[in-house]
Structure 1
């Protein structure tokens, strides 16, 4: 198969093996659609992928650095170690995608949504833009240091052992989330609603980092019980 000719002539790809291919200079203009394609190690650096669609694609080590992915849609599929550093991702949508160890450092994330995604060990520190929405996603051991969630509603997200240093959760509402052993140094939780969130076992240092947050009486009782007090 002549991959270069195929890519230059088509705007839709179904089940095509594009692993390791340097695609940036081959792609035609206009919205592109990739369905069930293998993009393992594919080079898409600085590619124009505005409103592109990726459905069920393998994205292991795919390189999207500095690509224009405004309005792009990623559904299902995914892989380990995809790189989005410096990419433009305004209005991009990720649904049910495996983004484990993905690197979004210095990417422009404005009105981006991550829903039902596996983002274990992902790196989102240093992102630019007005932010992104998280729901139903696993960010265990992810690096979100310095990220802003002010006033956001965050539902069903696991932040276990995540680096949340200097994150801003001011007035955020966390529902059915987990913060077990998360790193909270210099994080802001003023008026954040953490009722119903699993906080795990909190030492005195972690409690200080949660200063200003709202918790329920059951969480408060668990904290006091862990310190040897009896709550009636």
Structure 2
């Protein structure tokens, strides 16, 4: 497809092969719709994509750096290695999207929602803005250095082997979550409710980092058992 013909029919494109195309300068004004398009390696740097819908699109290595994605919606699809550095994503929504290895470094994330997403190995450290919510998502091996989850209700999230150093989980409630072998250096858990989380095996250093958190009797018994002690009623 000739790049000049991409939007000849309007602001909606369906099933188009846009892989590797430089699209920023050919986008029409106003919210756009991409349905089932192949945007592998597409260049959308500095693009105006506010309120745009990406539905079931292939987005491997798509470049959204410095783009305006306020209110954008990503539903299904996705890919590995997407780049969002310095982009603006106020009120953006990601639902059932593969964001493996995505780079959100220095991205403005304010009231962004990730639901049912695969964020394995994604980089969310160094984000700006007031933050985001995550539910039903896989963040295994993700870099979340210094991210804030204060007071959030976090449901069904895998943080296995993720870098949670310096994260703020103060008064957060974690339900159906996993923190197995997560890096917890300097993380804050004061007042956090971890009774619904799988903590895995914790060394003494990790236990100290969970100081102030609430855990269940069963979790406490398992932690004691890991240290060769038996708890009897």
| CA distance, structure 2, for counterparts of residue 105 and residue 9 of structure 1 | 35
Residue-by-residue CA offset, 1:124-166 (whole Å, 9 max, x unaligned): 0000000000000000000000000000000000000000000
Q: Retained in 2: the 8 A contact 1:8–1:28?
A: no
| CA distance, structure 2, for counterparts of residue 109 and residue 70 of structure 1 | 9
Aligned pairs for 1:1-232 (under 5 A) are 1-7=1-7, 10-232=10-232
| Shift, 1:9, TM fit | 5.2
Q: Retained in 2: the 8 A contact 1:194–1:215?
A: yes
More strand by share: 2
Q: Retained in 1: the 8 A contact 2:115–2:135?
A: yes
The answer for unaligned runs of 5 or more in structure 2 is: none
Residue-by-residue CA offset, 1:68-91 (whole Å, 9 max, x unaligned): 000000000000000011110000
| CA distance, structure 2, for counterparts of residue 130 and residue 193 of structure 1 | 22
- Describe the SS at the equivalent of 2:208: helix
Q: How many residues align?
A: 232
Residue-by-residue CA offset, 1:98-124 (whole Å, 9 max, x unaligned): 000000010000000000000000000
After superposing on structure 2, the runs of 4+ consecutive aligned residues of structure 1 that deviate more than 2 Å are: 5-10
Q: Retained in 1: the 8 A contact 2:64–2:85?
A: yes
Q: Retained in 2: the 8 A contact 1:192–1:213?
A: yes
- Describe the SS at the equivalent of 2:221: helix
Q: Retained in 2: the 8 A contact 1:91–1:111?
A: yes
Q: Which moved more, 1:120-129 or 1:4-13?
A: 4-13
| Shift, 1:196, TM fit | 1.7
| CA distance, structure 2, for counterparts of residue 173 and residue 121 of structure 1 | 23
| Shift, 1:10, TM fit | 2.5
Q: Retained in 1: the 8 A contact 2:3–2:23?
A: no
Q: CA RMSD in A?
A: 0.8
The answer for unaligned runs of 5 or more in structure 1 is: none
| CA distance, structure 1, for counterparts of residue 230 and residue 198 of structure 2 | 21
